[in-house]
């Protein structure tokens, strides 16, 4: 049965715009030579990650969720996202602000306004036909303002030589005998490395829309949305990943999806939901006997309880994290949670 990620309409549309070159269309989607569903050797459903070498949930020093991230109530620019572009006239879109009917949209360069559109009533508009296209190699900032709130995105148009460098790497991946999912993952990584976030998201979205069952595809897409500070969309992707992992009884996949969901919930200030999924992830990593990640989840739980001003539970989970770190000799992590506990005194 085909699985489908139900993105909001505005996001779905934004992923399919901004790629006008025939060459790039070929690089992103080639259906003339369909790939087999399963590789000749190995499982059709690969695990989300190699659990023998797991990625850390928290840095060795510092919080699992940096407190400097902006609140969820602000306007979020969806397209163009932060990073690099190929289209000199990209679609402009942003998340709606509750009870707001009109927005002011401005394009800036070096802090100076190039053009301004007042009284914009839609949350997605084409690049103004009356304005000059973007110039390659120039840093731009899109600012969307309404009711004293603002959202912004900083980006630049790639130069022809930069675009050619990307194309070379894309073609190298296309020439390899990879599965459709592995191709999508490697292409998305190349695009992400070059800050082509729209292409990275589109590539992973297309893999899901063509019935991908690879949990890493979902996880990577959710991570991208979280990086771009679009946590509501990330939440939808992680939920799909959670459902898929649950249907396969993949405990490691469940835990990773739960961590992603927790980050999305915290970014939206949904702290009780974050606690719920983190507690489930903690149990899952305990079941996997993962001595490295279990205390990191405990630390994350301590941070969320601290954000919620529940210092008793925060202290309890920081102590759990400290005990786990001491058991594996993670001295720097021990110091991190000790500093966190000192804040609670």
pLDDT in tens, 281-295: 999 999 999 999 999
What are the pLDDT digits (tens) for 46-77? 443 443 456 899 998 889 987 644 444 578 89
Return the residue matching tokens 């606690």.
275
What backbone phi and psi angles, to 5 degrees, belong to 30?
Answer: -125, 105
Structure confidence at residue 54 (pLDDT):
61
Percent of the chain with pLDDT over 70: 82
- For the segment(s) 9-20+161-343, the CATH number from 3.30.360.10, 1.25.40.10, 3.30.930.10, 3.10.20.30 is 1.25.40.10
Cα–Cα nearest to 206, from 192, 231, 187, 190:
187
pLDDT (average), residues 108-124: 96
- For the segment(s) 77-157, the CATH number from 2.60.40.10, 3.30.200.20, 3.40.50.300, 1.10.20.10 is 2.60.40.10
What are the pLDDT digits (tens) for 244-268? 999 999 999 999 999 999 999 999 9
Structure confidence at residue 68 (pLDDT):
46
| Cβ neighbour number for residue 182 with a 10 Å cutoff | 19
The two three-digit tokens of residue 128, written as one number: 């103004």
DSSP string, 145-197: EETTEEEEEEEEEPPHHHHHHHHHHHHHHHTS---HHHHHHHHHHHHHHTT-H
Helical spans, DSSP H, in the chain: 9-15, 22-28, 160-174, 180-193, 197-209, 215-227, 231-247, 251-267, 271-287, 293-307, 311-328, 331-343
């Amino acid at each position: 049965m085909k699985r489908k990620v139900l993105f909001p309409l505005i996001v779905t549309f934004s992923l399919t715009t901004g790629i006008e070159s025939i060459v790039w269309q070929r690089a992103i989607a080639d259906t003339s030579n369909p790939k087999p569903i399963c590789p000749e050797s190995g499982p059709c459903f690969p695990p989300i990650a190699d659990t023998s070498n797991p990625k850390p949930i928290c840095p060795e020093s510092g919080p699992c969720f940096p407190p400097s991230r902006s609140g969820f109530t602000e306007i979020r620019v969806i397209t163009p996202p932060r990073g690099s572009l190929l289209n000199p006239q990209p679609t402009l879109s942003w998340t709606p602000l509750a009870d707001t009917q009109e927005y002011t949209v401005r394009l800036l360069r070096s802090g100076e306004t190039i053009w301004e559109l007042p009284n914009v009533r839609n949350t997605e508009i084409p690049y103004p036909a009356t304005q000059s296209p973007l110039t390659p190699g120039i840093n731009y900032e899109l600012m969307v303002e309404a009711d004293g709130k603002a959202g912004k995105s900083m980006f630049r148009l790639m130069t022809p030589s930069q675009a050619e460098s990307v194309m070379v790497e894309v073609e190298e991946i296309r020439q390899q005998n990879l599965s459709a999912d592995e191709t999508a993952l490697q292409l998305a990584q190349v695009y992400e490395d070059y800050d082509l976030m729209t292409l990275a998201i589109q590539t992973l979205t297309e893999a899901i829309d063509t019935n991908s069952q690879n949990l890493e595809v979902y996880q990577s897409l959710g991570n991208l949305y979280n990086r771009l500070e679009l946590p509501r969309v990330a939440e939808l992707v992680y939920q799909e990943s959670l459902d898929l992992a649950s249907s396969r009884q993949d405990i490691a996949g469940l835990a990773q999806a739960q961590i992603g969901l927790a980050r999305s919930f915290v970014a939206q200030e949904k702290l009780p939901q974050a606690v719920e999924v983190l507690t489930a992830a903690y149990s899952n990593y305990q079941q996997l006997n993962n001595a490295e990640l279990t205390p990191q989840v405990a630390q994350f739980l301590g941070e969320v309880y601290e954000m919620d001003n529940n210092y008793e539970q925060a202290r309890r989970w920081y102590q759990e994290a400290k005990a786990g770190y001491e058991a594996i000799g993670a001295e720097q992590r021990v110091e991190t949670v000790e500093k966190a506990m000192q804040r609670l005194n």
